[in-house]
Structure 1
Amino acid sequence: MKRTRWPGRPAGEQPEQHYLIEPRALAGGGDVRHVFAFLLASGWQDIAKKGGPVAVRSPDRTVRVSYDPYAQPGGWTIHSAAQGQQAPWQAVLGPQTPVEIVAALTDSLVQPRSAHAPDAWAPLAGQRWKTGFDDRHFTATSPDGAAWLHFRQGQTGDAVWWSGARDQQGNGWSAQFTATIPLHLVAAFATALASPEPVMRPRGRVPHSTRIRTTSVSVLPWQLRAWQQARVTAARAATWARTWPAHPPSAAPRRARSPFARARARR
């Protein structure tokens, strides 16, 4: 009997072993293209310099997202200049922050913003995180104790958002956001941090931790490409819809140039 091949599936591709990892906060960094490909497809500009960190800038030049795999400890830096009534803010995340959690924050930079400030703690409470409050600090900790989100205030009134995850061997990551970061970004970050959904990592990129649970899955390369392309296509479509009045009817969205032609993606 002749075997039917699904459209878009190259002949001869062999399945590759991947792992679904829970909890996602301890899954390791992942492929940084998950973050940058979406921003580029949303109209952001590649501003990386040769030999430097991967970096992109928003169309209005007010926000910069970079990932430095060369510096120690390296990781993510997101910086925004002041915009109207919004004060400047910054977020710094360690290199082992799962890209799915980073992307929740960076995706929100290009998505419509609600007129009402969200409750950044609600996603955590919805997943049964343990919360606590004293005179200056509000804390939330995951049920297994591996991940946390704190809002900490110093004696002089300065404040910072502090988050992260750590296993029993001390492996993990941490992140800090200035107190001026818009709350909808913290809420998006918290939602991804607390999500019970596992994330996928290829064989050889699974952290050595007794705190994680893994499920082996076989994935064809064309499936991975299709999932990645679906995310990029959605970003382009949303960007096109937002900017439609600025385009003549005959215009079409241009393909964003990727910085990965010269900067290798690393965990």
Structure 2
Amino acid sequence: MRQHKQWAGWGATGQQAHQHYLVEPRHLAGGGDLRHVTEYLRASGWKDKSKTGGPLVFDSPDKSVRVGYDPFTQPGGWTISGRQTARQEAWHATFGQQTPVEIVAGLTDALFTTRKAHAPNVWEPLLHQGWETEHGQHFTARSPDGDAFVRFHQADPGQAHWWAGARNEHGRVWEAMFTPTTPMHLVQAFSTALADPQPVMRPLGRVPPSQRIRTTSVSVLPSQLGAWQQARIAAARAATWACNSFATSRAPTSPGAHSYTTADGRRR
């Protein structure tokens, strides 16, 4: 069902509005504009290592994390990789090409925030939004519409496998996978973005052909889009400053000799 309304916000008079759509649920909204992720990285001081005509590649200032997007291979998509450090084992997270950028950004944005004192819980944001859990061979949470899932399986201590995905009436849309060493606060940031009930915006011609989505037509001025993009860039700079300030003031700590992840997403 489609509705139409005027997008309220900034904008000078006389501008030509462009038609966009607010799409929900967000997990079926399609990939979206890659700049939602890459411009945040750029504003945070990451180095663009991409080559003309090749995959997108961004390295963190300390070269400890790399974010890439490759549309030229199959299945292609996003790869976020962290190298081994004194506090963290090497880790990888991958997202299919049709993973909404707003969900990918849930993880990449969290790279710039300080870890909270309490242990991360991947399930908490899902349960808060009414996702249902089921216990079988794997521990699984499913979205209220049944079209998205987050799944956990732990074979042995230290071998906690997380994966997620979404499907519509045409079949699988995207999948995400995390190595056992992926920091749990990043997986929780992903699940928070995935469960967010707010719709995401897509321009005319970029709305997936699915009966499982709901759309609302909105008229958006170029200045409104520009202001929104600038606000996100400002947020990136603020988060980077806060994270750097915390890192320089934090006393060094030693990692535990043994750690593993339990089914509730907590690091032991």
| TM-score using structure 2 length | 0.83
Amino acid at match of 1:217: V
Structure 1 portions without partners, runs of 5+: 1-7, 246-267
SS in structure 2 opposite 1:95? coil
Residue in structure 2 matched with residue 256 of structure 1 by the alignment: none
Identity percentage of aligned residues: 60
Residue in structure 2 matched with residue 180 of structure 1 by the alignment: 181
Deviation sequence 1:133-183 (CA, Å, 0-9, x none): 24x521101111000000124599854211011001115101111111111
C-alpha separation between the residues in 2 aligned to 1:228 and 1:162? 30
Residue in structure 1 matched with residue 70 of structure 2 by the alignment: 68
Q: Where in structure 2 are the equivalents of 1:1-267 lying within 5 Å?
A: 9=11, 12-134=14-136, 137-154=138-155, 158-243=159-244
Residue in structure 1 matched with residue 6 of structure 2 by the alignment: none
The offset of 1:184, in angstroms, is: 0.6
Task: Say which is worse superposed, 145-154 or 198-207, in terms of deviation.
Answer: 145-154
**Do the aligned partners of 2:112 and 2:239 also contact (CA within 8 Å) in 1?**
no
SS in structure 2 opposite 1:201? strand
| TM-score using structure 1 length | 0.83
Amino acid at match of 1:215: T
Distance 1:207 1:137, change over 3 A: same
The offset of 1:81, in angstroms, is: 0.8
Amino acid at match of 1:172: V
Distance 1:157 1:241, change over 3 A: closer
Deviation sequence 1:49-104 (CA, Å, 0-9, x none): 23221111111111000011222221000011112232111001000000000001
SS in structure 1 opposite 2:52? coil
The offset of 1:239, in angstroms, is: 2.7
C-alpha separation between the residues in 2 aligned to 1:142 and 1:90? 25
Distance 1:222 1:150, change over 3 A: same
